[in-house]
Amino acid sequence: MPFETAPRRPIRELPDELISQIAAGEVVERPASVVRELVDNTLDAGATQITVRLSAGGVRLIAVEDDGVGIAPDELAIALRRHATSKITNLTDLESVGTMGFRGEALAAINSIADCALISRPAGQATAFSLNGLTGELSPAARAQGTTVEVKELFFSTPARRKFLKTDATELAHCIEAVRRHALVRPEVGFAIWHDGKLVEQWRASSSSTENQESQRNQRLKDVFGDDFINQSVQVDHTQNGIRVTGRAGIPDHARSRADQQFAYVNQRFVRDKVITHAARSAYEDVLHGHRQPVYVLYVEIEPTRVDVNVHPTKIEVRFRDGREVHQAVRHAVENALAAPRAAVMTQQSAQMAQMAQNTQNEPSNQSFSRFSASNTPLAGIFTASTAINYVANRELLPSETHQISDVTAVWPPQNNPQTATSNSFDSSPKNHSDDTIWPLGRAIAQLQGIYILAENAQGLVIVDMHAAHERIVYERLKSQINVAEAAKSSLSSQPLLIPATFAATPLEVSTAQECAETLLQLGLDITAFSPKTLAVRAVPTTLAKGDAVELARSVLAELALHDASTVIQRAQNEILSTMACHGAVRANRKLTLDEMNALLRQMEETERSDQCNHGRSTWRQISIKELDALFMRGR
């Protein structure tokens, strides 16, 4: 969405009744505030190249040069007046602001605390004019089209304020950060920052004619944060309630100890907004635990009349007419982006790259790649059940129950089913895989220490924590089952036990079972008191039918005892399901056949959020051939 820049209106003083509507207050706190205001102005003027020159952390000098529309000589003096702006003229304009500035305050405020000069040459004018902000003297100057605002000796007349400034290095860092916030949202604009004669930062403008907005932004994000950020984040693009949310969300593994890489924009304005922060945070709830802070850059686009930018003098805060809608849109945008299993997305990306490189030369491999490039959205559903069916290509060799592997909701491992043949009856030879099949998580080759599955894929070695991965698969299955059940106003499908499992229970367990009987039934658990000190489990959720019923009952009762009111239970539902999933998941030291391991890998590829276990830790790691080679110093 290109920013509104032209046609430019004359700079006029705002009428008093409008002035009284504008959020007033201190805007200049430190050099970085000046930089932010001046860069805002250059962008409103349609600049494509912006140079910021600083001296002594910006305290001695801040000069911002642009190639924008410029200011007519007779308007230079007006630009420095309070409440003089070319951006709005009436209340309606104020309610649908599309520019960064609108108060007509910034230059006046800066001019009152520093020694300022405005040098500008509008398009079509033979010469530039320079206005001395202190004396009001206007003189001809040399300059190409555009404007330079020079701000010298900040706080020269208020030494007390100057004392509050930090070291030059710190003030410089804040100035760079101010420019960076603009750079992240305007890849089509080039930025350069000089400090004491040295170029300290430069972000080149993208060639807007050839690239789309997403690739332009990704390139800028790469330039600003480095390749790592792109590799460790997923694309966000979601529209809901007329609100579009784009950008990138860091994968849980890339989370940080501080919330210092969270950037949110509303209609290209950098904001600190509680609604957006909370929404993004809650999108990570199920995959990021503890105090880790996610990394993200999110761009929210919303009809300007649905957001009030006039709530804070520095415009860093905004108010949404309907915060709930924005919350939902942001939350779903990030949740969707994070849900897709990453191995699939990675394979899809590298397949697309390989496909471009190979240029349809190599028929068989292109065919297999096309599976992953069929959908270009990194959302869930890249893998259909058919991918798993392909894996079990040689179906005749498998016992009938194992066909369940191909079903996303199937119970894994098949061996748990007493009617399933033993592992020997699996066809464990590699002929199960047709040669043109590329599995993101590869083919299982071994089990290590009864804990890890080792697999081989195109990139190298994959190591999977089998319990953690399976726990997530069971958890996601339970969550979707309970959602379906809730929608149908029923409960999780459960399976009665032929012989109820009884156990000696504590008084708390007995009372919890009685008080929460309804919730337990909803969760597919039928637990009744057999005697004052004995509980009987009569039915368990079908998905968990193979596990230890008593252990499951005990953990769920313990979990329920923590939450008394039923409303709390509703909120704690995911925690309860997570506890249940732990019981349904394969335990360490269970010996798995290659087929069982492969079935687990295929389910991981299909299950949302399977890259993280229920506690937010990674379920698998990739070790590339390059890393293995480095380990053995091969090829040096």
Ligand X SMILES: Nc1ncnc2c1ncn2[C@@H]1O[C@H](COP(=O)(O)OP(=O)(O)OP(=O)(O)O)[C@@H](O)[C@H]1O
Residues in the site for ligand X, rule: CB under 6 A? 11, 37, 40-42, 45, 66, 68-71, 79, 84-87, 101-108, 147
Question: CA-CA distance, 585 to 580, in Å (whole number)?
Answer: 9
Q: For 307-365, what is the HEC assignment?
A: EECCCCCCCCCCEECCHHHHHHHHHHHHHHHHHCCHHHHHHHHHHHHHHHHHCCCCHHH
Question: Considering beta carbons, is residue 69 or 594 the nearer one to ligand X?
Answer: 69
Residue sitting closest to ligand X (CB): 101
Question: Considering beta carbons, is residue 107 or 351 the nearer one to ligand X?
Answer: 107
Q: How far is the CB of 14 from Mg ion (least distance, A)?
A: 13
Question: Considering beta carbons, is residue 79 or 535 the nearer one to ligand X?
Answer: 79
Q: What Rg do the C-alpha atoms of the chain give, in angstroms?
A: 31
11 binds, among Mg ion, ligand X, none (CB under 5 to 8 A by kind): ligand X
Question: CA-CA distance, 535 to 539, in Å (whole number)?
Answer: 12
537 binds, among ligand X, Mg ion, none (CB under 5 to 8 A by kind): none
Residue in 468, 467, 459 with CA at minimum distance from that of residue 439: 459
Q: How far is the CB of 206 from ligand X (least distance, A)?
A: 22
Residues 6+ apart with CB under 8 A from 569: 516, 519, 560, 563, 576
Question: Considering beta carbons, is residue 71 or 544 the nearer one to ligand X?
Answer: 71
- Running DSSP on this structure, what letter comes out for residue 167? -
86 binds, among Mg ion, ligand X, none (CB under 5 to 8 A by kind): ligand X
Question: Considering beta carbons, is residue 111 or 457 the nearer one to ligand X?
Answer: 111
Q: How far is the CB of 106 from Mg ion (least distance, A)?
A: 4
Q: How far is CA 435 from CA 444, 460, 597, 606, in A?
A: 15, 17, 19, 21
CA-angle at 472, arms to 471 and 478, nearest 5°: 90
Helix then strand count (H, E) for the chain reads 21, 24
345 binds, among ligand X, Mg ion, none (CB under 5 to 8 A by kind): none
Q: How far is the CB of 237 from ligand X (least distance, A)?
A: 31
In this structure, what token pair is assigned to residue 40? 């805002």
Q: How far is the CB of 564 from ligand X (least distance, A)?
A: 52
464 binds, among ligand X, Mg ion, none (CB under 5 to 8 A by kind): none
477 binds, among Mg ion, ligand X, none (CB under 5 to 8 A by kind): none
Q: How far is the CB of 282 from ligand X (least distance, A)?
A: 32
Q: How far is the CB of 318 from Mg ion (least distance, A)?
A: 17
Q: How far is the CB of 314 from ligand X (least distance, A)?
A: 10
Question: Considering beta carbons, is residue 107 or 466 the nearer one to ligand X?
Answer: 107
Question: Considering beta carbons, is residue 6 or 357 the nearer one to Mg ion?
Answer: 6
252 binds, among ligand X, Mg ion, none (CB under 5 to 8 A by kind): none
102 binds, among Mg ion, ligand X, none (CB under 5 to 8 A by kind): ligand X
Residue sitting closest to Mg ion (CB): 101
519 binds, among ligand X, Mg ion, none (CB under 5 to 8 A by kind): none
Which amino acid, 517?
A: A
Question: Considering beta carbons, is residue 268 or 522 the nearer one to Mg ion?
Answer: 268
85 binds, among Mg ion, ligand X, none (CB under 5 to 8 A by kind): ligand X
- Do you know the residue count of the chain? 636
Q: How far is the CB of 136 from Mg ion (least distance, A)?
A: 20
- Helices 466-487 and 566-584, packing angle to 10 deg: 140
246 binds, among ligand X, Mg ion, none (CB under 5 to 8 A by kind): none
Residues facing residue 12 across a β-bridge: 85
Q: How far is the CB of 203 from Mg ion (least distance, A)?
A: 21
Question: CA-CA distance, 487 to 470, in Å (whole number)?
Answer: 26
Question: Considering beta carbons, is residue 106 or 346 the nearer one to Mg ion?
Answer: 106
Binding footprint of Mg ion on the chain (CB under 5 A): 41, 101, 106
In this structure, what token pair is assigned to residue 129? 């004019």
Residues 6+ apart with CB under 8 A from 564: none
CB 528 within 8 A of CB 535: yes
Question: Considering beta carbons, is residue 225 or 270 the nearer one to ligand X?
Answer: 270
Residues 6+ apart with CB under 8 A from 112: none
Question: Considering beta carbons, is residue 12 or 60 the nearer one to ligand X?
Answer: 12
Strands (E), 205-318: 233-240, 243-250, 262-266, 269-271, 296-301, 307-308
Residue in 385, 294, 387, 384 with CA at minimum distance from that of residue 335: 294
Residues 6+ apart with CB under 8 A from 521: 491
**Helical ranges in 50-143 per DSSP H:** 73-79, 91-95, 106-113
Question: Considering beta carbons, is residue 44 or 595 the nearer one to ligand X?
Answer: 44
Q: How far is the CB of 120 from ligand X (least distance, A)?
A: 7
Q: How far is the CB of 304 from ligand X (least distance, A)?
A: 15
45 binds, among ligand X, Mg ion, none (CB under 5 to 8 A by kind): ligand X
Which amino acid, 399?
A: P
